[in-house]
């Protein structure tokens, strides 16, 4: 959607290259593994990558629908012409219902008063959220009897649960699945669609026993540590230009608080990216950077708009492109690596923390 000219203007400082080909291949791999359709989670602007662009690309996989977290996010998809089913995977209050209906969203409800209000307000498809242990959203699995009459009066077209530790081998998801099945057995009628698995749940349970699966983070290039042979391709590449070069003498220091000190003569490049872009301050003196396919390190504290890297051993010129997340040649800095180095952040937070100041450039493939 960006013209050549505006693309050039958008790449003078720092930007995100987003590989839509890799996104779709990650989705296709999950769909093959699960053997059921996808409901890609494009909430939070597709984990920061751009909901409309990602949803449009994922249309190629003929998904059952898309998942978002708010009615506003659903409205954005509708305004972009996305006609497929859209589920809102956060509880809605009755105050949201009129907008939800106008945007043709399918709410996920667990609170008895909300279910009654949705039914009385004219109904429409909804899914019953069943809490099997996360205690975040949904009706408790062992309290389904309390909504039996409501569910009989306003039958949900679907029922689902969410695993709190799908990436762990602690037996918890088996426990949650048993509770989910027990709750379903108490419903007056079996809903048409049943679903439970997020990315880690899909990777670990193949084929899926349910109607569809709800992948999020895997689509965007983040796998589980124990990926059972199923690993995503990187999708997000954070690039920044070299804006200045500084030749330092022995003892010179770099950035706030002078935490990096030159031993002998060193050369440092200033990049046009900082923590206000979502390149976290915790990466100071630790983050990795790739320049011409060679790995180096952040020098000193990350500042709001600029970050310095040591380029002493790499030929470097003004305007060169440095990769701080993603691939450059044979080298890769994964989102998980960045999260770990940034004081064991969650990779989800790294992705959703990439700020709007970074233009998103959509590519069919990124080398
Ligand atoms: C966010 C979310 C998912 C996707 O989770 P990932 O771990 O990113 O795959 C699935 N289901 C629900 C209900 C969610 O809120």
Q: Is the CB of 70 under 6 A from ligand 1?
A: no
Q: What pLDDT, on a 0 to 100 scale, did the predictor assign at position 6?
A: 64
Q: What is the pLDDT of residue 121?
A: 86
Question: Is 8 domain-assigned?
Answer: no
Does residue 158 lie within any of the structural domains?
yes
Q: How far is the CA of 75 from the centre of ligand 1 (A)?
A: 20
193 assigned to some structural domain:
yes
Residue 1 lies in a domain: no
Q: Which atom of ligand 1 is nearest to the CA of 137?
A: 13
Within a domain: residue 312?
yes
Residue closest by Cα to atom 10 of ligand 1: 198
Q: Give yes or no: residues 60 and 123 share one domain.
A: yes
Give the active site residues.
43, 256
Residue that is last in its domain, among 173, 188, 220: 220
Rounded to the nearest angstrom, the distance between the alpha carbon of 39 and the centre of ligand 1 is 10
CATH of the domain at 179: 3.20.20.10
How many domains are there within the chain?
A: 2
Q: Say whether both 246 and 160 belong to one domain.
A: no
Same domain, 76 and 208: yes
**Is residue 217 lining ligand 1, measured as CB closer than 6 Å?**
yes
Ligand 1 neighbour 326 (Cβ under 6 A): no
Determine whether the shortest distance from the Cβ of 42 to ligand 1 is under 6 A.
no
Output the pLDDT for position 3. Answer: 40
Same domain, 122 and 204: yes
CATH code of the domain covering residue 292: 2.40.37.10
Is 3 within the bounds of a domain?
Answer: no
Tell which one of 63, 135, 162, 204 to mutate to probe ligand 1, the residue whose CB is within 8 A of the most ligand atoms: 162
Cα–ligand 1 centroid distance for 56 (angstroms): 19
Q: Which of 190, 220, 250 is the last residue of a domain?
A: 220
Q: Measured from the CB, is residue 151 less than 6 Å from ligand 1?
A: no
- How many angstroms separate the alpha carbon of residue 229 from the centre of ligand 1? 21
Alpha carbon of 214 to ligand 1 centroid (Å):
6
Ligand 1 center–CA 40 separation, angstroms: 9
For residue 146, what are its two tokens? 């309390």
**Does 191 contact ligand 1 (Cβ within 6 A)?**
no
204 lines ligand 1 (CB under 6 A): no
Any domain includes 7: no
Q: Are residues 247 and 138 in the same domain?
A: no
Based on the fold, state whether residues 194 and 271 are members of the same structural domain: no
Q: Are residues 269 and 307 in the same domain?
A: yes
pTM confidence score: 0.95
Same domain, 52 and 163: yes
Show which of 193, 220, 247 is a domain's final residue.
Answer: 220
Q: In the 3-class helix/strand/coil scheme, how is the chain assigned residue by residue?
A: CCCHHHHHHHCCCEEEEEEHHHHHHHHHHHHHHHCCCECCECHHHHHCCCHHHHHHHHHHHCCCEEEECCHHHHHHHHHCCCCCEEEECCCCCHHHHHHHHHCCEEEEECCHHHHHHHHHCCCCCCEEEEECCCCCCCEEHHHHHHHHHHHHHCCCCEEECCCCCCCCCCCHHHHHHHHHHHHHHHCCCCCCEEECCCHHHHHHCCCCCCCEECCCCCCCCCCCCCCCCCCCCCCEEEEEEEEEEEEECCCCEECHHHCEECCCCEEEEEECCCHHHCCCHHHCCCCEEEECCEEEEECCCCCCCCEEEECCCCCCCCCCEEEEEEEECCEEECHHHHHHHCCCCCHHHHHHCCCCCCCEEEECCCC
248 and 177, same domain (yes or no): no
Q: Quick one: 74 and 170 in the same domain? A: yes
Q: Are residues 203 and 282 in the same domain?
A: no
Residue 13 lies in a domain: no
The ligand 1 atom nearest the CA atom of 47:
8
pLDDT value of residue 33: 96
- Full pLDDT tens readout for the chain, 367 residues: 334 456 778 999 999 999 999 999 999 999 999 999 999 999 999 999 999 999 999 999 999 999 999 999 999 999 999 999 999 999 999 999 999 999 999 999 999 999 999 999 888 999 999 999 999 999 999 999 999 999 999 999 999 999 999 988 899 999 999 999 999 999 999 999 999 999 999 999 999 999 999 999 999 999 977 767 899 999 999 999 999 999 999 999 999 999 999 999 999 999 999 999 999 999 999 999 999 999 999 999 999 999 999 999 999 999 999 999 999 999 999 999 999 999 989 999 999 999 999 999 999 876 5
| Any ligand 1 atom below 6 A from CB of 89 | yes
Is 81 in the same domain as 178? yes
Structural domain including 273 reads: 236-363
């Amino acid at each position: 959607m960006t013209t050549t000219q505006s693309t050039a203007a958008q790449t003078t400082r720092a930007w995100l290259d987003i590989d839509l080909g890799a996104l779709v291949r990650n989705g296709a791999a999950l769909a093959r593994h699960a053997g059921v359709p996808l409901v890609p989670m494009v909430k939070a602007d597709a984990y920061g990558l751009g909901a409309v662009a990602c949803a449009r690309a994922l249309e190629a996989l003929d998904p059952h629908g898309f998942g978002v977290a708010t009615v506003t996010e659903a409205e954005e998809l509708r305004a972009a012409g996305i006609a497929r089913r859209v589920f809102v995977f956060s509880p809605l209050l009755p105050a949201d219902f009129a907008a939800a209906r106008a945007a043709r969203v399918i709410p996920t409800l667990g609170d008895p008063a909300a279910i009654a209000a949705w039914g009385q307000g004219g109904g429409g498809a909804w899914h019953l959220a069943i809490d099997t242990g996360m205690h975040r959203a949904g009706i408790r699995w062992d309290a389904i009897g309390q909504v039996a009459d409501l569910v009989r009066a306003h039958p949900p077209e679907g029922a689902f649960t969410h695993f709190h530790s799908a990436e762990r081998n602690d037996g918890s998801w088996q426990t949650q699945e048993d509770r989910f099945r027990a709750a379903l057995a108490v419903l007056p009628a079996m809903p048409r669609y049943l679903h439970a698995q997020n990315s880690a749940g899909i990777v670990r349970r193949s084929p899926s026993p349910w109607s569809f699966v709800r992948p999020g983070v895997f689509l965007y290039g983040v796998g589980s540590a124990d990926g059972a042979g199923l690993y995503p391709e990187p999708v997000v590449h954070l690039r920044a230009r070299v804006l200045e070069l500084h030749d330092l003498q022995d003892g010179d220091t770099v950035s706030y608080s002078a935490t990096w000190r030159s031993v002998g003569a060193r050369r440092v490049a200033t990049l046009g990216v900082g923590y206000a872009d979502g390149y976290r301050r915790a990466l100071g003196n630790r983050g990795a950077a790739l320049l011409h396919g060679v790995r180096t390190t952040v020098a000193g504290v990350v500042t709001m708009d600029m970050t310095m890297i040591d380029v002493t051993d790499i030929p470097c010129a003004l305007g060169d492109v440095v990769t701080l997340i993603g691939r450059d040649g044979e080298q890769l800095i994964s989102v998980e690596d960045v999260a770990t180095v940034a004081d064991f952040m969650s990779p989800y937070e790294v992705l959703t923390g990439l700020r709007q100041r970074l233009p998103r450039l959509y590519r069919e493939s990124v080398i």
